[in-house]
Amino acid sequence: MRNVAVIGCYQSKFGELWDRSLRSLGTEAGLGAIKDAKIEKNAVQSLFVGNMSAGRFVGQEHLGALFADSMQMKIPAVRCEAACASGSVAFRSAYHSIASGDIDVALVVGVEKMTDVHGSGALTTLAAAGDQEWEASIGLTFAGLYALMARKHMHDFGTTREQMASVAVTNHKNGLKNKLAQFQLAITLEDALNSAVIADPLRLFDCSPITDGAAAVVLASENVARTLDVQPVYVLGSGQGSDTIALHSRASYTELLATKAAAKKAYESSGLRPSDINVTEVHDCFTINEIIALEDLGFVEKGKGGKFVERGAMDLNGEIPTNTSGGLKVCGHPVGATGIRQIGEIVRVLRGDCFNPINGAEIGLNLNIGGSGATSVVNIFGKEPRVR
């Protein structure tokens, strides 16, 4: 396996972008990442597109060919789908293509256009990432699924609504400087606790929004990366895990076994431990998921995640700065783009050109989750390559 580096990244504005199309967003991100990598377009050998459901959101399929065409790149191109983890699955596909020696340079574009349908249509499409027969067909939304997980976590470990609300408060504070985020406003604990009920115990400020947006990264082999006038960030480890698609079939409601499996593989392949990680972007589609993620990734003992975030351990100057971008909660969650947006944020933190610098950060991690935890991807990045 060869060392692989991220040599360029780009993110469009995230939000309700009524004047933008799926094509224009993905093309902007792809060309932006190529420019950031300081390479010519013809240096890219393969294109990987992360997207959950363009067919249902905007009526467009065959996205590999669409974006290769829109960027005037006659190269192999493919779309990768794994619900909200589509972006990270596309990233892993590109990573393995380069690590194996098949190609030297790849472009990964994550994109979703979600606001061209009514809100109910968006919820129906998102529900398709769960078990259609046993969950969606009876009206069980993802807010409902994560509310069940929250209730069980509260019952078993004493986690409180205040602790979940503190996740939202911190992420909103982190996102204040992020000009690309969907929201740029501070909230108080009282704001979060008193916001409208979505699926008890989850309130409005516990939930990520419906979003349009795109993000892209360029990957290259170490040999190619060293010839360029860029600051490469290396992929040190990567892992992917799966679990049952239906929540009711799982052994536990308070942990995501797919995340634990993905993290185990990423840590083993990198030779690192949770204590080595300096900064992380985790999948906070709902605030309870950030608490569970911090536990499943090994940063805190199972059941103690609520107290961990309450005491400020995930703050910018805390034990493990988390979602320094504002996370899904503040950046927005264009589902196919989220994993690539997370990776780009980690890359920018390690390069030192991010919205919220983390002094001394050498190693970062992203966790991207599909559905209610049926798919999880963990990637670990560093400023220096692995010694093989």
Instruction: Tell me the catalytic residues.
Output: 84, 333
Which residues lie below 8 Å from residue 350, measured CB to CB, with a gap of 6+?
233, 279, 361, 362, 363, 364, 381, 382, 383
Encoded tokens for 375: 């798919």
Across the strands, what pairs with 229?
none
Residues present in the chain in total: 388
Q: Which two tokens stand for residue 114?
A: 């979600």
CA distance 85 to 191: 30
Phi/psi zone of residue 166: left (φ > 0), alpha (ψ -120 to 50 degrees), beta?
alpha
CB–CB of 226/129 below 8 Å? no
Packed helices 63-70 and 22-37: angle between N→C axes, nearest 10 degrees: 60
**Is residue 291 a contact partner of residue 153, using CB atoms and an 8 Å limit?**
yes
End-to-end CA distance of the chain: 9
Q: How many CB atoms lie within 10 A of CB 188?
A: 12
Phi-psi domain of 158 (left: phi exceeds 0; alpha: psi -120 through 50; beta: other): left
User: 303: buried, middle or exposed (CB in 10 Å: 19+, 13-18, 0-12)?
Assistant: middle
CA R_g for the chain: 19
24 half-sphere exposure, CB direction, 13 A CA radius: 7
**At which residue do the structure tokens 């985020």 appear?**
181
